[in-house]
Amino acid sequence: MTRPSAIPRSLRSDIVFAFALALACGLAWMLRDVLMLLYVSALFATVLTPVVRSVGRLHIGKWRPFKGYAVLFLLLAMAGALTAFGFLALPPVIRDLQKFTSEMPTGLPVLLDKIRNIPFADKLNAQEITGRLQDFLSNAATYLLLSIRDWAGKLVNLAMGFILTVYFILEGKSAYAWFLSFFAAEDRERLDNALQRARLRMDRWLVGQGSLMLILGVVSTCVYLSLNIRYAFALGVLTGLLNIIPVLGAAICVALALLVAAIDSWWRVLGVAIFYLVYLQIENAFLTPRIMRNSVGLPGLAILVALLLGSALGGVPGALVSVPTAVLVSVLLDEYLVKKNPASA
Which of these ranges, 20-29, 35-44, 88-97, 146-155, has the smallest mean pLDDT? 146-155
The pLDDT of 6-35, averaged and rounded, is 78
pLDDT grade for 246, boundaries at 50, 70 and 90:
low
Average pLDDT across the chain, whole number:
75
pLDDT grade for 6, boundaries at 50, 70 and 90:
very low
pLDDT for position 322: 81
Percent of the chain residues topping a pLDDT of 90:
0
Percent of the chain residues topping a pLDDT of 70:
72
- pLDDT 10s digits, 85-113: 777 777 777 777 667 666 666 665 666 66
Return the higher-pLDDT residue of 338 and 201: 201
- pLDDT 10s digits, 286-335: 766 666 655 667 776 777 788 788 877 777 777 778 888 888 888 888 88
- In this model, does residue 220 exceed pLDDT 80? yes
Which of these ranges, 163-177, 233-247, 264-278, has the smallest mean pLDDT? 233-247
Which of these, 230, 221, 239, lies nearest to 99 by C-alpha position? Answer: 230
pLDDT for position 7: 47
Q: How far is CA 160 from CA 68, 150, 157, in A?
A: 23, 15, 5
